[in-house]
């Protein structure tokens, strides 16, 4: 069966680029000194949101940065506006930092219609959190999850990072064990990425920090898969795991290559056969929206062939993989003919499996998925 979710899904993503401190590895657009811009940004995002046709989105995701850096009153305005414009939204996620939430603030968000929390835990080792530049400690994660449960949330997600410099099988296992004890509905695990123009990239280039080697990275990834699945948190995408029924509907839309609309500085959209990106500048974004201009700085149309390739790559990220009949009907391309060469090559290597009407990556392929998927990026 293909991944679950409505076929007419459109996701809404709103970017809040505010952080209290910079993590040394972060490559996303963010600002750490923008108190005077918070209200102006939200006003601009509300204006950009008003340009989206009503009743268009079925999921919404407020990410960052950290949206909980905002005063609760501003975050509440944003949530209310989403539901006023998009009343069909059935899953609304808010990213939060553990030290920025309380039972009362989470209860308020729950009452406003937030159905899912994504908590940026990253690690349960305080030394690792300090090294990353995080402003919370492991006890804050536990307190945040407990507060969320008391506020009525069942759908709580934790983000974790593996392959940190200096980490070991034991330190990573400690993080996994602590996460499992909190019984989250969803867990994402990401290997540390060396993003350009970050403090981490500069320190690795200078030799001040040594990255883990590829073998250690892969070993920790496989360790994470085993630990989470033993706890009943099943892998449904390369980096994402969930208890049954708690897969992220919003993210499943991305992996099915369904439309999404991005709001805010640096936000991207895939809508009406175009991929667009807003300017990655708080001041330029606000200025453009306040003067009724477009904040889009990049726009590319997608033809049928590129859409088929994108769909193949994104579908293969999920453990369900490509549902052949659905793919052929949706894209107009026969997956087995269009990608015959890489399919046969990776099947022979034991990295792809064809089972009935489903084509998917084997577990052995997951640690090197990017090298496999790149062969599906062009026809």
Q: Tell me, yes or no, if the pTM score tops 0.85.
A: yes
Q: What is the CATH number of the domain that holds 136?
A: 3.20.20.70
59 and 181 in a common domain: yes
Q: Structurally, how many domains does the chain consist of? A: 2
355 and 247 in a common domain: no
Question: Long-range pairs for 295-302 at CB < 8 Å and ≥24 separation?
Answer: 295/48, 295/265, 299/274, 299/275, 300/274, 300/275, 300/276, 301/273, 301/274, 302/270, 302/273, 302/274, 302/275
Confidence (pLDDT) at 20: 85
CA distance 256 to 328: 13
100 and 201 in a common domain: yes
230 and 335 in a common domain: no
333 and 201 in a common domain: no
Closest CA to 167 of 141, 189, 144: 189
331 and 221 in a common domain: no
In a domain, 242, yes or no: yes
Q: Could you tell me which residues come within 8 angstroms of residue 37 by beta carbon, excluding any fewer than 6 positions away?
A: 31, 282, 283, 286
**DSSP per residue over 94-138, as a string?**
EEE-GGG--HHHHHHHHHHT--EEEEEEE-S-HHHHHHHT-S--H
Neighbours of 138 (CB within 10 A): 19
Q: What is the CATH number of the domain that holds 363?
A: 1.10.10.920
| 3-state secondary structure at position 236 | strand
In a domain, 297, yes or no: no
Query: Residue 336 is part of which domain span?
Result: 304-376
In a domain, 262, yes or no: no
210 and 331 in a common domain: no
198, 225, 255 - which closes a domain: 255
340 and 224 in a common domain: no
323 and 189 in a common domain: no
330 and 219 in a common domain: no
337 and 231 in a common domain: no
225, 255, 285 - which closes a domain: 255
In a domain, 23, yes or no: yes
312 and 220 in a common domain: no
In a domain, 162, yes or no: yes
What is the chain's pLDDT, residue by residue, as a tens digit (379 residues)?
233 334 578 999 999 999 888 777 776 778 887 778 999 999 999 999 999 999 999 999 999 989 999 999 999 999 999 999 999 999 999 999 999 999 999 999 999 999 999 999 999 999 999 999 999 999 999 999 999 999 999 999 999 999 999 999 999 999 999 999 999 999 999 999 888 878 888 888 888 888 899 999 999 999 999 999 999 999 999 999 999 999 999 999 999 999 999 999 999 999 999 999 999 999 999 999 999 999 999 999 999 999 999 999 999 999 999 999 999 999 999 999 999 999 999 999 999 999 999 999 999 999 999 999 999 999 9
In a domain, 291, yes or no: no
In a domain, 267, yes or no: no
């Amino acid at each position: 069966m293909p991944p679950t979710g409505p076929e007419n899904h459109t996701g809404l993503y709103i970017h809040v680029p505010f952080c209290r401190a910079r993590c040394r590895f972060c490559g996303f657009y963010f600002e750490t000194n923008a108190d005077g811009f918070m209200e102006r940004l939200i006003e601009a995002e509300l204006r950009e949101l008003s340009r989206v046709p009503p009743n268009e989105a079925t999921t919404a995701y407020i990410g960052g940065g950290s949206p909980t850096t905002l005063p609760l009153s501003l975050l509440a305005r944003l949530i209310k506006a989403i539901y006023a414009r998009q009343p069909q939204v059935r899953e609304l996620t808010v990213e939060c930092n553990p030290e920025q939430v309380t039972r009362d603030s989470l209860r308020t968000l729950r009452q406003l219609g937030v159905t899912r929390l994504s908590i940026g835990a990253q690690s349960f080792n305080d030394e690792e959190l300090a090294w990353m530049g995080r402003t919370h400690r492991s006890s804050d994660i536990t307190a945040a999850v407990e507060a969320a449960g008391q506020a009525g949330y069942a759908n709580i997600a934790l983000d974790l990072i593996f392959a940190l410099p200096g980490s070991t099988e034991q330190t990573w296992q400690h993080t996994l064990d602590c996460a499992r004890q909190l019984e989250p509905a969803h867990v994402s695990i990401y290997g540390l990425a060396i993003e350009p123009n970050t403090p981490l990239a500069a320190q690795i280039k200078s030799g001040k920090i040594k990255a883990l080697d590829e073998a250690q990275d892969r070993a920790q990834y496989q360790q994470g898969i085993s630990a989470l699945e033993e706890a009943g948190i099943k892998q449904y995408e390369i980096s994402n795991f969930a208890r049954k029924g708690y897969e992220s509907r919003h993210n499943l839309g991305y992996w099915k290559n369904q439309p999404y609309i991005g709001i805010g500085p640096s936000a991207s959209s895939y809508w009406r056969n175009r991929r667009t990106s807003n300017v990655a500048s708080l001041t330029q974004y606000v200025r453009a929206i306040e003067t009724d201009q477009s904040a889009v700085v990049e726009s590319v149309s997608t033809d049928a062939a590129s859409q088929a390739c994108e769909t193949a790559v994104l579908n293969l990220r999920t453990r369900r993989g490509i549902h052949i009949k659905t793919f052929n009907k949706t894209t107009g391309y026969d997956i087995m003919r269009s990608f015959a060469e890489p399919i046969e090559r990776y099947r022979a290597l034991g990295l792809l499996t064809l089972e009935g009407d489903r084509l998917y990556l084997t577990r052995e392929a997951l640690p090197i998925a990017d090298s496999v998927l790149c062969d599906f990026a062009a026809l």
